[in-house]
Every structure is written in C-alpha cells, then in structure tokens.
Amino acid sequence: MTRYVSVTLEKRAVRCLAKLLDEEAPRTAQAVWDALPLGGQVYHGKYARNEIYALLPLFAQQDPGLENTTITPIPGDLCWFSFSSDQLGNPAYGYAEGQGAADQSRVVDLAVFYGRNNLLINGDQGWVPGNVWGSIVEGLDELAAACQDIWMGGATGETLSFARAEAPAR
C-alpha cells in the first residue's frame, strides 16, 4: 500500500502531496514516516539550485545510511541528507547560532527539489549524495512558485513541514 506525506510551507499556505518511495528507499522512508510530523525553519539552497530544506536534529533511532542516492535530483524529489555539525559549521553557510546546524552532533536535512538542473556539490565537501525517499505527485507547480518567492522574498518566518497524508482522491 502506497503511503503519502504532505509537504507544506506554513506561512505561504502552500501544500503538496508526495508518495513515499518504500521500495527504493525503505530505511529512509520508514525513518521519516516513524518521526512524522516534522518541521522547521525553511532555507533555500545556495549550491544545489532549486531546493528548499529544513535542518532537524537526528530523529531516527539509527541513520538509514545511503540508499537510492542521487547527486542530480529532479523536480519533486524529497531527499534526506545527514551531516555532522562540523560539516555545516562553516560561517559562509550563514546559519546563525541556535538555528540547528551548529547546535547538534548530527543534523538531518530534509530537502525538497522543485525545479530542474540541480547538482549536489559543495565547494567545501565535494559531492553530496542524498537519499531520495519521496516524490511529489500533486501540487508541484504551486510549491515551485512559493519556493521562488522564498528565493526572491526571503525565508524568514517560514516553516517547512512534513506530515502523514491520505491517498489522493481518484
């Protein structure tokens, strides 16, 4: 049975629906599912291009490790990245103290890709493969417009949240 999650930008009141990729990324999909609902301050990607994400303390009993990885996510991909605070501690990344990155020993980055031509490379670390654990099936166009507004208008006060959802009506 296919499982679904909602992906919401709370302040902008934009919601889309994604299916979990249980067959392709079973450990990651299960780790996210078990922890839902999740959410945090949204950020817009600096390096990857068309990406928004939230940084969260490690919420799984065990990090799922690499599975169903990509360095070229496509529109609608939901990705998991796991970092140490040292990996995100560079002041050039712009995270203020208390914003989650430098205050945790392990940080989970739950990312949403909304456009094409993404490349997961970081000037400090090189390639950064992400686990693709979900795929947006409804509402991507509205989300992409809201993500462009975050890029141009700012992310301050915006929350990216993930929650369990019902299957789409057919």
For each of the domains in the chain, give its residue range(s) and CATH number, in order of start. Answer: 4-165 (2.40.100.20)
What does the block give as tokens for 102?
């430098």
Mean pLDDT score, 49-67:
94
DSSP string, 14-30: EEEEEEE-TTTSHHHHH
Lowest average pLDDT, out of 92-101, 117-126, 140-149, goes to: 92-101
Query: Mean pLDDT throughout 117-135?
Result: 92
| Average confidence score pLDDT of the chain | 91
In terms of C-beta density within 10 A (0-12 exposed, 13-18 middle, 19 or more buried), how is residue 61 classed?
exposed
Question: In the predicted model, is pLDDT for residue 26 greater than 70?
Answer: yes
For residue 56, pLDDT beyond 50: yes
Which amino acid makes up residue 13?
A
Does an H or E element contain 131, and which?
strand 130-138
Task: For residues 106 and 45, give the distance between their C-alpha atoms in angstroms, rounded to a whole number.
Answer: 19
pLDDT, tens digit, 9 for 90 and up, residues 87-106: 766 655 555 555 545 456 78
Residue 110's closest CA among 46, 19, 31, 2?
A: 31
> Does the model's pTM come out above 0.85?
yes
Sign of the CA dihedral with 2 first, then 5, 18, and 46 last: negative
With pLDDT > 90 as the criterion, what percentage of the chain qualifies? 76
